[in-house]
């Protein structure tokens, strides 16, 4: 599929996932800011949300709200990723970034990590739909 705004909007229309719809909204709202549209994806996938590229996920207050709003979908993504990689604890997946004293992500720090993870992995799954992004995901 070609990376066009029309195709992005069509995928969003056919999507039932609230988390995916939110990430589609990010893509759509940033569309006019990029000459090379693939960079909407690669900027996030190469540098991560931690770089500040996703303005709505910079502050803890925003990332915690994002995590709580999409907790179920993010937890499903986490479970699927750990299952696919053979890792069985978030601390194995996130390494020293994960606060091991908060294994259930009840506190801000791990919720922040999970919000970024959920956004990035959802963006990656959207990118798989487009030929021009196959080499980047």
What's the pLDDT tens digit per position in 4-60?
999 999 999 999 999 999 999 999 999 999 999 999 999 999 999 999 999 999 999
Contact 78, 90 (CB under 8 A): yes
Q: Which domain holds residue 86?
A: 5-133
Residue 135 confidence (pLDDT) above 90: no
pTM of the full predicted structure?
0.94
How many structural domains is the chain composed of? 1
Contact 44, 133 (CB under 8 A): no
Whole-angstrom Cα distance, residue 99 to residue 13? 37
pLDDT at 44: 97
Mean pLDDT, rounded, for 70-74: 98
pLDDT at 132: 84
pLDDT tens digits for range 92-113: 999 999 999 998 999 999 999 9
End-to-end CA distance of the chain: 15
Whole-angstrom Cα distance, residue 28 to residue 6? 10
SS3 content of the chain, % helix, strand, coil (to 5): 70, 0, 30
Residue 136 confidence (pLDDT) above 80: no
What residues contact 110, with CB distance under 8 A and at least 6 apart? Answer: 90, 98, 99, 102
Whole-angstrom Cα distance, residue 109 to residue 83? 23
């Amino acid at each position: 599929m070609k990376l066009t705004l029309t195709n992005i909007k069509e995928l969003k229309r056919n999507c039932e996932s609230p988390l995916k719809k939110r990430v589609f909204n990010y893509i759509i709202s940033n569309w006019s800011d990029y000459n090379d549209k693939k960079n909407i994806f690669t900027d996030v996938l190469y540098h991560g949300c931690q770089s500040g590229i996703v303005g709505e996920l910079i502050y803890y207050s925003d990332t915690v709200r994002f995590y709580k709003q999409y907790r179920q979908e993010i937890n499903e993504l986490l479970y699927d990723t750990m299952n696919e990689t053979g890792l069985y604890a978030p601390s194995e997946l996130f390494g020293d970034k994960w606060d091991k004293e908060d294994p259930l992500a009840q506190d801000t720090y791990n919720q922040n990590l999970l919000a970024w993870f959920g956004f990035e992995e959802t963006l990656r799954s959207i990118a798989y739909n487009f030929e021009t992004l196959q080499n980047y995901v």
